[in-house]
């Protein structure tokens, strides 16, 4: 390998070897909020992007701090967030819960929070991930959970939003809402770049450069 090839190879891989743990990346902009409202006794969940998919991105070789390590080696994203659309009063002692009704096999979800406050996220598995409950109690604030997948491809998940009591049971007299979220897990652009540079180096070797 000549000097040029060595410089390119070192610049490609030096960031992967012995890298310090970091917080996961915020994948996808602008933020996409599922706007939850309660009008009378009827819940609504408004998502204005239709069936457009949000990207789950890979970052090979990265390690993440603390409990965020559950995202290592996976395609992940946090573009979707749950957000109150105005003041919500579900009644004394009640709250709002979200239940996963169906999902493409292989889609994982981990508990997040305010998008830029990654150190405060629990990264606990939710919505059936790792045997967790299918029901998650929304705290009423903006929450961007982490969605992840091992394999590339298209995923979707449908949720039921309902008024719940202190025990997590649905409260009679309230109408539920449903929403479906759409995802696409893709290879990292950096991986394509590595393949391209690898081809360049191989070509230079064949030419005797």
Q: Is 26's pLDDT higher than 50?
A: yes
Hey, CA dihedral for 173, 49, 181, 147, is it positive or negative? negative
Structure confidence by residue, pLDDT tens digits, 119-154? 999 999 999 999 999 999 999 999 999 999 999 999
Number of domains in the chain: 1
CA distance 122 to 19: 23
Question: Does residue 36 form part of some domain?
Answer: yes
Question: Does residue 120 form part of some domain?
Answer: yes
Cβ burial, residue 59 (10 Å; 0-12/13-18/19+): buried
Q: Is 11's pLDDT higher than 50?
A: no
Question: Does residue 203 form part of some domain?
Answer: no
Domain span at 177: 22-187
Question: Does residue 97 form part of some domain?
Answer: yes
Structure confidence by residue, pLDDT tens digits, 81-134? 999 999 999 999 999 999 999 999 999 999 999 999 999 999 999 999 999 999
Yes or no: say if 42 and 76 are a contact pair by the CB < 8 Å rule: no
CA distance 206 to 202: 6
Question: Does residue 32 form part of some domain?
Answer: yes
What percent of the residues of the chain are helix, what percent strand, and what percent coil, each to the nearest 5? 20, 35, 45
């Amino acid at each position: 390998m000549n000097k040029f090839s060595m410089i390119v190879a070192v610049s490609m891989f030096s960031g992967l070897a012995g890298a310090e743990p970091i917080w996961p990346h915020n994948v996808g902009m602008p933020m996409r909020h599922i706007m939850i409202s309660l009008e009378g006794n009827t819940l609504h969940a408004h998502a204005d992007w239709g069936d457009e998919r949000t990207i789950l991105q890979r970052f090979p070789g990265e390690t993440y701090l603390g409990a965020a390590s559950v995202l290592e080696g996976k395609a992940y994203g946090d573009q979707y967030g749950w957000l109150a659309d105005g003041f919500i009063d579900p009644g004394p002692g009640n709250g709002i819960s979200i239940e996963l009704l169906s999902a493409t096999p292989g889609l994982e979800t981990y508990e997040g929070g305010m998008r830029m406050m990654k150190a405060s996220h629990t990264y606990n598995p939710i919505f059936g991930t790792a045997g967790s409950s299918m029901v998650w109690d929304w705290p009423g604030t903006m929450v961007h959970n982490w969605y992840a997948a091992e394999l590339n491809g298209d995923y979707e998940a449908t949720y039921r939003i309902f008024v719940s009591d202190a025990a997590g049971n649905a409260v009679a007299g309230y109408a539920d809402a449903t929403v479906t979220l759409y995802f696409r897990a893709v290879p990292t652009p950096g991986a394509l770049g590595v393949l391209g540079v690898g081809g360049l180096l191989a070509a230079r070797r064949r030419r005797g450069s």
